[in-house]
Every structure is written in C-alpha cells, then in structure tokens.
C-alpha cells in the first residue's frame, strides 16, 4: 500500500526545514559565526527528529531537547539513539548560546566537526523513512 501523499508531504516539510537550517549553518560558519552555525545544526537535528516522529504518528512536545526527542524516537526504533550520540550535546546551542553569558565557545574546527556530524545524522534519520526526502 502506498503511503498517504498528504502525510508524506507534511513529513517532507519537516525535512525541508532541516535542509534550510543546514544550509544556513554552512553559510554562517563560513562567515565565522560559530555559535549561530551550531544553533542551526541543533535546529536541523530537532526538525529531522520531529519529522520522523510526525511520520510515525507520535505526538511530541514543543522542546529543543535532543535527548528527549531521541528517547521518543527510540520508542519507534532503538537504533536512532546510537545514531544521535554525536549530536546530542547540540541541545546546549538551542538556548544557552543564544544569549549573553558565561559559556565556552567552540572553535571553528570543532564547529565544522559538529556540522559534519549533523549532516550525517540528518541523512541517517531521513534514510529511515520509506520514501526519499530529497
């Protein structure tokens, strides 16, 4: 049986938003806006996870906590938690780094590693869907 085309399109919209966040993360990192790049990395992973949950009909809270979202996704597919390990710390960039305060800022090299990990994780989550996301 073919998947519901409306549900497919709505799911794809989550992944399209994630792709845009990834594109912005690349652009702002090139301009040396490291914290902002990592914010968009976090957003990309968050949107992929929410898209995955949406596809599976699982409600989710309004949260930026990748750990919480990973637990919710693991209830569907336990392998997702292992996939997410490299990017779970990105949660800190959803809020902490968006405002002034005492934080240790990552280097551009570290941010590039986070960006590469984000791309891999988003692709791995997308590959768990029964249709292509791009």
93 by Cβ neighbours in 10 Å (0-12 / 13-18 / 19+) ranks as buried
Domain boundaries, given as residue ranges, for the chain: 5-126
Q: Give the integer Cα–Cα distance in Å for 110 and 119.
A: 14
Helix, strand, coil proportions of the chain in percent (round to 5)? Answer: 70, 0, 30
pLDDT in tens, 23-73: 999 999 999 999 999 999 999 999 999 999 999 999 998 999 999 999 999
75, 114, 121 from 70: Cα distances, Å: 9, 17, 12
Residue 3 has what DSSP assignment? Answer: P
pLDDT at 117: 98
- Would you say 122 and 22 are in contact if contact means Cβ atoms under 8 Å apart? yes
Give CA–CA dist 26/23, Å, rounded.
Answer: 5
pLDDT at 98: 82
Residues 107-127 pLDDT 10s = 999 999 999 999 999 999 999
Q: Confidence band (pLDDT; 50, 70, 90) for 2?
A: low
Instruction: Provide the pLDDT for residue 134.
Output: 79
Q: CATH for 5-126, among 1.20.120.330, 3.30.70.260, 3.90.170.10, 1.10.8.100?
A: 1.20.120.330
Percent of the chain scoring above 90 in pLDDT: 84
């Amino acid at each position: 049986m073919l998947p519901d085309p409306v549900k497919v399109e709505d799911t794809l919209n989550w992944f399209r938003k994630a792709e845009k966040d990834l594109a912005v993360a690349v652009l702002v990192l090139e301009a040396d806006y490291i914290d902002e790049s990592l914010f968009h990395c976090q957003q990309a992973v968050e949107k992929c996870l929410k898209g995955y949950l949406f596809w599976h009909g699982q409600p989710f809270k309004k949260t930026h906590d990748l750990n919480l979202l990973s637990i919710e996704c693991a209830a569907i597919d336990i392998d997702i938690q292992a996939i997410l390990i490299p990017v779970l710390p990105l949660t800190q960039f959803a809020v902490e780094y968006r405002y002034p305060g005492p934080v240790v800022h990552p280097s551009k090299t570290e941010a590039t590693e986070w960006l590469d990990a984000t791309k891999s994780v988003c692709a791995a989550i997308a590959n768990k869907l029964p249709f292509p996301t791009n």
